[in-house]
Every structure is written in structure tokens, then in C-alpha cells.
Amino acid sequence: TAPAKPGKKGAFPYPDGVYTGSGEGYGGITKIELTLKDGTIEKIHVVSNEDDESFFKRAETLISLVIQRQSTDVDVVSGATFSSDGILEAINEALDAAKNAAQPAVTTTTTVTTIAPPENTTAAPVTGTTSTETTTEPIEKIYDDGTYVGTADCYPDEDEDFVEYVLSVKVKIENDQIVSISDASGAGDSYDKLNDRYISRAAKGTGKITGTIAQILEKQHTDGIDAVSGATCSSDAIVRAVDDALAQARKGA
């Protein structure tokens, strides 16, 4: 395929050069190099990407449009939305780098004020003794230590592009702390292994998106956990499965 040529002169008042940017695709990070000359995007080179080749190839057609139109205001490619978003995000980040290069350097002046030490003073002697009594009351535990398997149904969204299945996780509790969440997986006779990639994305996150497991471990609860884009249903199911495990671990359950 012949390289795309600008359909018009660009309007980017930034220094000439090659600028790098990265964006979040479906499978991971997409990195690009953008060549800018005379305010015009002359070339966009994909350095690397972590998406499926078939989807990325479809999304890559955006690059020609961006160069021709000298704008990132273009429609994403149907059927390759996340790969398209990753490419456009990377291009915009490269343009931001070019914009920052055009900013004048800022000089920061730091003023140090020295305060003279106080004059010598003599403290009056303290007589007598002070007795301090500390009473420590035991804190009642919320959870019993152990490893618990939590489950939750994973429901399809309005697109209904997968069959409902049961998702399970293992949650380990020690001293009222969630120390690990592992083995997020689908189960059941009708479970489709194609869902594995979505569960993995929801659990682990990506280069720019924190996974549900890391969020839960950091917060030590499941309130306010952000779903991972592109794996929303799996993210919600993992949160509910962890809730199920915590309910089992609660003392007296």
C-alpha cells in the first residue's frame, strides 16, 4: 500500500521532528512515531501493538485518514473500536508532545530564607515522676483466616455476544486482610473458552488500565471498583465473586 499523503497543509504550529505516543488498544499498548514538518503530519509509523492482528489491520486504516485530513477527528473503524481508540490516543499523545516542545522553557527561582537560632535559654528542672498507663483492648476480627472460593454469574450486556456463565475466584484472607485473589476463571459445561481473554483483561487490566484484582487488593474492599473497558461484564462478575468469598469468610457465616 502506498503511504498516505497529506490532503492539505496541516495547522500544527509545533517544531519539526519525530514524536512518540502510546495508546490503549484492546490487547495492550499501541506505540507510534509521528513525523511533523512545516506544521503538517507527514508520516505516522506504528512501532508496536499488542492487539489481534486481524482487528488491528482494520483499525490501521485510520492512519491514512488522519494524515489526509490532518486531524484526529475521524470515526473509529466498526468492529475494531478498541484498536482504533488506541491508535487515535497514541497520535494525540504524540501531538501533545510536539505541543509541549513548542512551549518556552520555564525558569524556576528558589529563595532560601535562613532563620537565626534562638538565644540560649535555660529550662527549669522538672521534678516528680509521671506515670502513664496504656490499656490495649483486643480488636474483634471480621473474617476467619483461610482461602475461599467465590462465584458469580456473568451476564451478557445488551449486545448479548456471549452466553451467561459462572465465574469463580479464590480469595485468601489473613488477619482480616485480603492477601491474594487468584484463579479467576469460567466454569460450566456450556462455558466458552473464548471468554478467557475477557476474564484475563478484567482481572489483570492492561498497560494503562488497572485490573479489578489490583484495585480490590489496594482498597481492601469491593466498593467503587472501576470496570475494565472491553471487559465490563467480566469485571462486574469478578467483583461479585469476591463479595461472595468475603461473605463466606465473615465470622459466624
What does the pLDDT look like over 223-243, one tens digit per residue? 999 999 889 999 999 999 999
Please write down the HEC assignment for all residues of 154-192: ECCCCCCCCCCEEEEEEEEEECCEEEEEEEEEEECCCCC
Domain membership of residue 3 (yes or no) is no
- Of 251, 3, 4, 41, residue with least CA distance to 146: 251
Same domain for 84 and 153?
no
Average pLDDT over every residue of 191-213: 90
Residue 236: give the domain boundaries.
Answer: 146-249
For the ranges 61-65, 67-71, 78-82, 83-87, which has the lowest average pLDDT? 78-82
Same domain for 175 and 91?
no
Question: What is the predicted pLDDT for the residue at 40?
Answer: 96
Give the C-alpha distances (Å, rounded to integers) separating 182 from 25, 83, 152, 165, 167: 25, 28, 15, 18, 12
The pTM of the full predicted model, rounded to 2 decimals, is 0.65
Domain boundary among 101, 125, 156: 101
Domain boundary among 82, 101, 120: 101
Domain membership of residue 77 (yes or no) is yes
Question: What is the predicted pLDDT for the residue at 177?
Answer: 95
**What CATH number corresponds to the domain at position 37?**
3.90.1010.20
Average pLDDT over every residue of 197-225: 92
Identity of the highest mean pLDDT range in 29-38, 99-108, 125-134, 136-145: 29-38
Domain boundary among 44, 67, 101: 101
In contact, 12 and 40? CB cutoff 8 Å: yes
Question: What is the predicted pLDDT for the residue at 109?
Answer: 66
| Sheet with 177-187, edge to edge strand ranges | 146-154, 165-174, 177-187
Question: What is the predicted pLDDT for the residue at 138?
Answer: 67
* Residue 24 to residue 224: CA distance in whole angstroms: 22
Confidence of residue 1 (pLDDT cuts 50, 70, 90): very low
What's the mean pLDDT when you consider all of the chain?
A: 87
Tell how far CA 168 is from the center of its chain: 22
